[in-house]
C-alpha cells in the first residue's frame, strides 16, 4: 500500500467505494487524514462501515471543513450531469483529484509510463510492464488495469509505474508526472460522459499535458483524431510515431506484421506474425507502441526483442478457451464497442458470433464490412432488438437473450455444420452492465460454460494467446 501523507490531519471525502475508492480511503487513513466516505449504493456503504470508515451523505456534509474530494473515476464530473458531491465540492472550492494524482504526488521520484486509447490499452500496458520487468526493472502495473494504484508497492527513485489510464482517470489528474505517454487510437466511446466526441478527444489529448520535462510522447498514426493531436504537440516535445498500417520514415511501424524501428539506430526487424500473442493488425499496433515506450524508457533492442517472444496475452482479449471437434471457442469479452469487435471479426472466418449487452452509441452498423465472415449471430442483452434490426436481411440471427442460451445454440449449430476453422466467438460490441458487473465476469462465465461442453479440450493461455 502507498501511504498518502499529504492530507495528514486534514479532512478528505472519498466518493465511490469500489476497489479503487476503498484503496484510496485506506491509503489516506494510513497517512493520517480524517476520512469520510460515501457511495450511492447502500451495500458499498455497508462494506465501508465494516472496514471502519465513517459514512456521510455529501448533500448534508459541511464542506467548509473538507480539503479534498477523491471521486472514483466512474463518478460524473460534468456530463450527463455532475454528481451532487462534485457540485458541493466545487462550490466550497474544494480540491478534486483522483487516486492516480495521489500516487504521483506521493511517489514523485518514481518514473511513470501512462497508456491510453479507446482500444488496446490493457494489452499495451501489460506488454510494456512485461518488457521492463524482463529487463530487471522494478515495476508496478495498475490503474485501469488490475490493482488500484494506491494498493501497489512504493517504488521510489529506481522504480517505474506502468499505468493504464482511462479518459475518466485522466480527467482527475493535474500534475505533470509522465516520463512516457502513449496514445494508441481514438474512436467514439463514452460520449455521454464527455458531452460528445469533441470532449472525449480532448480528454485523451490531455494525456500529453501531463508530460514531465524531457519526456516522450508515443502516438498512433492510424486514425485521424490522433494525427490531428500529433500536429498540435509542441515542438519541444519528443514524439515517436507508431503505425500498424504504414512504414514510417521516422518512428516504429508494424505494417503487415513486421516491426521496424527507425529512430536513428540500426535495429533488426521483427516478424510479429510468428508470435502467438501478436496476431492481427490491432496487436501489431500494440506491439509497436509498447516497443516505442520501452525503448524511450532505455530498454535495449535485443532485450526488447527477446521479451516480446515470451509475452502471453491477457484474458478476455481473443482468448482461445477450448476446441471441440476442430471448432474454436474464443472469449473476446473485452470488446465492448464495435471498433474492438472489428479486430476479432477480421481475425477469423466462419464465425458463430455471440453479441449484445448494453450498446454503445454507434451500435454494430460499422461492422457491416465484416458481415460476410458471419455464419450466424446469437444476440443477447439490452441490445438484442437493435442488433437484430441492423442484421435483418444481411446476416442470419437468433434472439437468445442470455449468454448460456446463446452459447448452447452457437455450439449446436457450429458442431452440426462441421466446418473446419469455425469459431464460436463471444465479442459483444457492448458494455456488460445490463447482465454482468464487468466484462471480466462476462468472460469468466463464457469460459466456464465452454469448458463444460462435451468433448471440450481446454487450451492453456500460452497455447491460446491468439490476440
The pLDDT tens digits along the chain (467 residues) read 899 999 999 999 999 999 999 999 999 999 999 999 999 999 999 999 999 999 999 999 999 999 999 999 989 999 999 999 999 999 999 999 999 999 999 999 999 999 999 988 989 999 999 999 999 999 999 999 888 999 999 998 989 999 999 999 999 999 999 999 999 999 887 788 888 999 999 999 999 999 999 999 999 999 999 999 999 998 888 999 999 999 999 999 999 999 999 998 899 999 998 887 887 788 899 999 999 999 999 999 999 999 998 897 788 988 889 999 999 999 999 999 998 899 889 888 899 999 999 998 789 999 999 999 999 999 999 999 999 999 999 999 999 999 999 999 999 999 999 998 899 999 999 999 999 999 999 999 999 999 999 999 997 533 333 32
Pick the closest to residue 27 from 138, 118, 147, 120 (CA basis).
Answer: 147
CATH code for the domain defined by 107-309? 3.40.1190.10
Which residues face 346 on adjacent strands? none
Q: Where along the chain do its domains lie? A: 11-96, 107-309, 319-464
> Which grid cell sits at 452?
463444460
Domain 11-96 has CATH 3.40.50.720: yes
Pick the closest to residue 24 from 85, 58, 71, 87 (CA basis).
Answer: 71
Conformational region of residue 460, where left means phi above 0, alpha means psi within -120 to 50, and beta covers everything else: beta
Which residues face 183 on adjacent strands? 116, 219
**Share of the chain residues as helix, strand and coil, in percent rounded to the nearest 5:** 40, 25, 35
CATH code for the domain defined by 319-464? 3.90.190.20
Would you state the torsion angle of the CA atoms of residues 144, 149, 153, 157, taken in this order, to the nearest 10 degrees?
100
Amino acid at each position: 500500500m502507498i501511504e498518502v501523507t499529504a492530507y495528514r490531519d486534514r479532512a478528505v471525502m472519498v466518493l465511490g467505494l469500489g476497489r479503487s475508492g476503498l484503496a484510496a480511503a485506506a491509503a489516506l487513513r494510513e497517512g493520517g487524514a480524517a476520512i469520510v466516505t460515501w457511495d450511492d449504493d447502500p451495500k458499498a456503504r455497508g462494506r465501508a462501515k465494516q472496514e471502519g470508515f465513517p459514512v456521510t451523505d455529501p448533500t448534508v456534509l459541511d464542506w467548509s471543513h473538507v480539503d479534498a474530494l477523491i471521486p472514483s473515476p466512474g463518478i460524473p464530473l460534468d456530463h450527463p450531469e455532475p454528481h451532487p458531491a462534485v457540485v458541493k465540492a466545487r462550490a466550497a472550492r474544494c480540491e478534486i483529484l483522483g487516486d492516480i494524482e495521489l500516487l504521483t504526488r506521493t511517489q514523485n521520484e518514481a518514473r511513470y509510463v501512462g497508456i491510453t486509447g479507446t482500444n488496446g490499452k490493457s494489452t499495451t500496458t501489460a506488454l510494456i510492464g512485461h518488457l521492463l520487468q524482463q529487463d530487471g526493472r522494478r515495476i508496478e502495473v495498475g490503474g485501469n488495469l488490475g490493482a488500484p494504484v494506491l494498493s501497489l508497492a512504493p517504488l521510489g527513485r529506481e522504480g517505474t509505474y506502468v499505468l493504464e489510464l482511462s479518459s475518466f482517470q485522466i480527467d482527475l489528474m493535474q500534475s505533470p508526472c509522465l516520463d512516457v505517454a502513449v496514445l494508441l487510437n481514438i474512436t467514439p466511446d463514452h460520449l455521454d460522459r464527455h458531452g460528445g466526441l469533441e470532449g472525449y478527444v480532448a480528454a485523451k489529448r490531455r494525456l500529453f499535458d501531463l508530460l514531465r520535462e524531457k519526456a516522450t510522447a508515443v502516438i498512433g498514426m492510424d486514425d485521424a483524431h490522433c494525427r490531428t493531436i500529433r500536429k498540435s504537440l509542441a515542438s519541444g516535445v519528443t514524439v515517436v510515431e507508431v503505425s500498424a498500417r504504414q512504414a514510417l520514415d521516422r518512428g516504429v511501424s508494424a505494417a503487415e506484421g513486421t516491426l521496424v524501428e527507425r529512430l536513428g539506430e540500426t535495429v533488426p526487424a521483427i516478424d510479429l506474425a510468428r508470435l502467438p500473442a501478436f496476431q492481427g493488425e490491432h496487436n501489431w499496433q500494440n506491439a509497436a507502441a509498447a516497443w516505442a515506450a520501452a525503448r524511450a524508457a532505455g530498454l535495449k533492442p535485443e532485450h526488447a526483442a527477446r521479451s516480446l517472444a515470451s509475452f502471453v496475452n491477457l484474458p478476455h482479449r481473443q482468448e482461445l478457451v477450448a476446441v471441440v471437434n476442430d471448432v474454436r471457442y474464443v472469449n473476446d469479452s473485452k470488446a465492448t464497442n464495435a471498433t474492438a469487435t472489428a479486430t476479432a471479426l477480421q481475425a477469423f472466418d466462419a464465425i458463430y458470433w455471440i453479441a449484445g449487452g448494453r450498446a454503445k452509441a454507434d451500435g454494430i452498423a460499422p461492422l457491416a464490412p465484416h458481415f460476410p465472415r458471419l455464419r450466424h449471430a446469437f444476440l443477447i442483452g439490452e441490445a438484442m432488438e437493435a442488433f437484430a434490426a441492423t442484421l435483418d436481411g444481411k446476416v442470419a440471427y437468433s434472439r437468445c437473450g442470455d449468454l448460456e442460451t446463446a452459447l448452447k445454440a452457437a455450439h449446436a449449430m457450429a458442431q452440426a455444420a462441421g466446418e473446419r476453422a469455425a469459431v464460436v466467438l463471444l465479442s459483444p460490441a457492448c458494455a456488460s452492465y445490463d447482465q454482468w458487473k464487468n466484462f471480466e465476469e462476462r468472460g469468466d462465465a463464457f469460459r466456464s460454460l465452454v469448458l463444460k461442453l462435451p468433448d471440450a479440450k481446454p487450451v492453456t493461455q500460452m497455447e491460446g494467446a491468439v490476440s
